[in-house]
Structure 1
Amino acid sequence: MLYLLAHLQVTSGHKHQVLESLDRLRTETLKEPGCIQYELLQDLPIELEGRNALSDNLILISEIWRSETDLHRHLEKEYMHVFQEQATEWITEIRLNTLSRACITPIA
């Protein structure tokens, strides 16, 4: 399994537009055979020691994919290209992390 965490910094005043667009993207993405999970996340104003400063314009996308091949197929979908074209107006920065489970003992 492959975990993808996308950090999207949204232009001030466009968060609602981006969330609507991502919600449509989520619906399509979850239909893909290799997509196990797709969640949209946003910052909450909770006080915790060591917590990063609150960012009202930050959206995180947490995805789980069956394989790297499935993720690459997803990125080539027409609706992904359409979103990427639209996103240039609303999103100032995108950072991607690809992750795997961290464990000391192998998972059976």
Structure 2
Amino acid sequence: MSKPLTIVARIEARAGKIDQVNKALLKLIEPTRQEKGCIQYDLHQDNENPEVFLFYEIWESRALWQAHMNNEHLKVYMKETEGAVESFTLNEMSRID
């Protein structure tokens, strides 16, 4: 059996677009937590730089995470935040202990 996949996704909103990005990100939580293979899906916001959001995710497998990435609610998020995101960084990681 393969190890679970950890995803760390960092989203930085453009100046003046924090609320727009925040609302769109919050809409992702419940449907994603219901998806097959989702073990953990938590959204965080930086305490000193509110433009910065971070998802910490754990998935049963990379294949199930990739299925998540093609879901309709992510397509809606992309439309809702078009032009509002300054940067996006995603790391696929594996726990090593």
Matched-pair identity in % = 31
When Rg is computed on C-alpha atoms for both structures, the one with the higher figure is 1
> Residue 43 of structure 1 corresponds to which residue in structure 2?
46
Structure 2 residue matching 1:81: 3-state secondary structure: helix
Which of residues 22, 25, 28 is equivalent to 1:25?
Answer: 28
Deviations 1:7-39 (A, max 9, x none): 111011221221221111111101101111111
* Cα distance in structure 1, aligned partners of 2:27 and 2:79: 15
Query: Quick check: 30-39 or 83-92, which moved more?
Result: 83-92
Question: Unpaired segments of 5 or more residues in structure 2?
Answer: none
Aligned length: 94
State the Cα deviation string for residues 30-78 of structure 1 (Å, max 9, x = none): 110111111111112xxxxxxxxx4231111111101001101001111
* RMSD of equivalent CA atoms: 1.2
Measure the CA separation in 2 of the matches of 1:83 and 1:40. Answer: 14
Within 1, Cα distance between the matches of 2:63 and 2:19? 31
Read off the aligned partner of 2:76 and give its amino acid letter.
V
TM norm structure 1? 0.80
Q: Unpaired segments of 5 or more residues in structure 1?
A: 45-53, 104-108
Deviation of residue 87 (structure 1)?
2.1
Within a 5 Å distance, the mapping from 1:97-108 to structure 2 comes to 97-103=91-97
